[in-house]
Structure 1
Amino acid sequence: MDKQYISAQQCMFLIIGFLVGTAIILVPSAAIGLAKQDAWLAPLLAIVPGLLLLSILLALNNMYPGQSLVQYSESIMGWPGKILSLIIIWFSFHLAALVLRNLGNFVNLVLLYETPLPLIHVLIVAVTIYGIRLGIETIARALSFLLTVSFIFFLLIQAYSMAHVDLENLLPFLGQGFLPVISATLQMSAFPVGELVIFSLIFFHIKPSPKTGRFLTGGLLISLFILFMAIERIISFMGPDMASRQLYGIMGTIGGIRGGNLFETMVAINWYAFTITKFLVCYYAFMIGLAHWFKLPDYRPLILPAGALITVFSLFLYENALHEIYFAARIFTVYAVPIEYGIPLMLLIVAVIKKGLEQKG
C-alpha cells in the first residue's frame, strides 16, 4: 500500500484542484458578503496562514519521512497522538461528505434539477470508488492532465468575462475599513486553505526531491490566485451587493454576458473537475488514515463501506443549498481552525522538544 509514489509536480496539481474545488463556488459570495468590494484582498492575505500551515506539514514530513500523520503522531505522543490523528481522520471523512453534498447540490440545481439527489451522490461515489481502487499514482496522473485542461478553460472564461465588467465596482478601496477584510481572510484561512491538513495523510507518497517545497508552495499560490481572479470577476461584473446575494456567482457572471450561455457548460465541467479532485483526495486520505490507524496491510477492503458511509452522511448534512452556504460562512471556521492549525502545530512543537531532549540525552 505504501509503495505508491507521486512526484511533487503531480502533488502540486492535486493541491490546486483540492483548494479551488468547492471554494470557487462557495467562497466568493461568503467573502463578498463580509468584505464587499474589497473581498478580492482575502485570497491574497490568506497566503500567509497557508504558507505557515504548509511549512508545518512539510517540517513534520521531513522529520518522519515515509510516514503519514497517523503514524508519526503516535511516534511523537503515543496514545494521545493517536487520538489526535483520529480527529484528522474524522475531519477527512466529514470533509469528503461535505464536498460530495456540495457537488450533488450544484449538479442538482444547475445541471440535473429533476434528478433525485441520492442518485447523483451514488453515481459520483461509484466513479470515485473506481479511481480510489486504482491508487494514488493513477489518480495523480489522470488529474494532472484533467486539471491542466481545466486551468486553460478557466483562463479563457476569465478573459471573455473581463471584457464585459465594470472595474468601478471595485471602488472605493477599503470603503468598509480593514476589519471586514480580516474577517474574510480568517474565513478563507479555514476554508479552503486550512483544509491542506488533509495532505498530511498523503505527503508520504511524494518522491523525495529538493524541489518538493517549491512545487507545493506553487500549488498553494496558484490556487489562491485562481480564487482572487474569480472573486474580482464576480465583483466587477455584478457589484458587491448583488454578488453577495448570489448562490452561485461564478455561473451568474457567464449567464449575464451576451453569448455567455455557450460557456456555461464549460464552466460547469470545469468546476466539476476541480471538485471531483477534492473529493478524491478527501476520500483517499480517509482510506489511508483508517488503514494506518488500524495498521492494516491494505486500504482497499475499506473502500466500499466507507463510500456507503460518506454517501449516507452527506444526505443528512444540510437541509438545502442555503443551509450549505450558512455552514460554510458562519460555522465551519470555528469548527475547523483548531483541527487544521492546532493539531499540526502541537505535533511539531512536541516533536522538536522530543528531538532536542534525545540529542541532549
Structure 2
Amino acid sequence: MPVYSWKGTDLKGKIHTGVFSAESYKELEGILERRSIGLISARSVLRTTVFSSSLQQTFFSQLSSLLLAHIPLYDALIIIASCNKGSSFEKLVRQLACLIAEGMPLSEALLLHMCVDQLAVVVIRTGEKTGDIAHALEHMVKHKALMELFKKKLYAALFVPGITLCFFMMSFMGIFLIVIPRFEFYCTSLAAPLPYSTHLVIGLSRYIRSWNFLYGCGGLVSFLLLSFLYSHSIQGYKVHIAFLLKIAPIRSFLIKVYTTQLLRGLAFLLGRGIPLVQALEVCGAVQSSVLAREEIAVLKNLVEQGKTLSYAVSSTIFSSEELNSFILLGESTGKLSAMIDNAATVFQHKVYSIIDWYIVLINPILLVSIGLLIAGLMCAVYMPLITFPLCLEL
C-alpha cells in the first residue's frame, strides 16, 4: 500500500502533518476528512518507519509498562514525551497524545503519524477490541525482543571472522607496502639469483604499489557497489537469492531462518486471536525477504481457498516432515497456536546450532588459511637469505 506524507488543517486552523498508508490520494483525503482535517498537500514517500526498531521497542515497552500500572493512555503518552524533551520523538508522541484526547484509537493515531509495521497495528487493534491494550503491547514487546535477539545471533556469527579477515588484510597490505620494498632493495643490491616464490612476492608488491592496483581496486569497488545496489532491487534480490539457494548448505540454512520467522509470527498472532488468513498476511508484510513474502502469499491463497495449513505448507519451501507433523498435530488437537510455537522453538534451535557450528568451523579455517599465507610469505622472504651465503661461497 502506498505511503503518503501529508499536511492538513483542522476546523480551528491548526496545521497537522503526518505519514499515512492509503490506496490513493482520494482515499487519504477521505480518511483525513473523517477526522475533521482538510488535506492541504500530500506526496508519496518510501515506506520507512519514523521510529527506528530500537526506538519502537523502547516506546512500546514504556507504554505497556505504564498501561499495566493503570495509567490512562493519554497520561502515559505525555509521560513518555516528557522523558524525551527536545527531540523529534517528543513532538511525535505529543501529537499522538492529542489525537488520543480527541477520541482517536491508538492504532489509527500510529498509522496517521508514522509507518509502524503491520504486526504492531494488528496487535494494538486486537487489544483495543478486547479492551486490554496493555497486555497486547506487553506480548508484542516480548515477541519483538525475541526476534531482535534472533537477528543479533545471525549477525554476531559474521563478526569475529570479519574482524579477523580485516586485521589480516591490513597486516598484509602493510607488509607489501613497507617491508617487501626494503627487502627488494636488499636483494637487488646483492645481484644474486632469487627463488621463484621471492620473484612472485616482489612482483606482487610492485603491483600493489602501482597505479594499476588502484585502478583495479576502483573497478572492484564499483562492481561491488553496483552489485549491491542491484541485489537490493526486486529483480536483483531474486537473482541473488536464486543463486544462494542453488548452494545446498546455504539453501537449507535460509529456509530454516525464513521458517523460524514465519512460525514465530504466526504463533504470536494466532495466540492473540488473529484469524489465520490475516495472520499470514501480516507475517508476509513484515518479512524482509522477497522470497519469503512470495511463499507466504502462496500459503495465504491456499488457506483462503479452504485448504488446511498443513496442506498449504507442504506446497511451499517451508515444507518439511517435522514441520508438517507439528501442524497436523495442532490441527487435529485444536491447539494450532501452541504447536506452531513449539515448532518455532525447534527450528530456532536448529538455526542456532547451524550458527554455532559455523562459528566453530569458520574460525579455524580462516586462521589456518592465514597461517599458510604467512608461512608462504616467510619462505619467500627467508629463502634468499639462506641461499645468499651459498652463492657467495661459490
TM-score class, shorter-chain normalisation, is under 0.3
Structure with more of its chain in helix, by fraction: 1
Q: What TM-score comes out, normalization by structure 1 length?
A: 0.24
Greater relative CO, 1 or 2 (CA 8 Å, sep 6+): 1
Q: What TM-score comes out, normalization by structure 2 length?
A: 0.23
Structure with more of its chain in strand, by fraction: 2
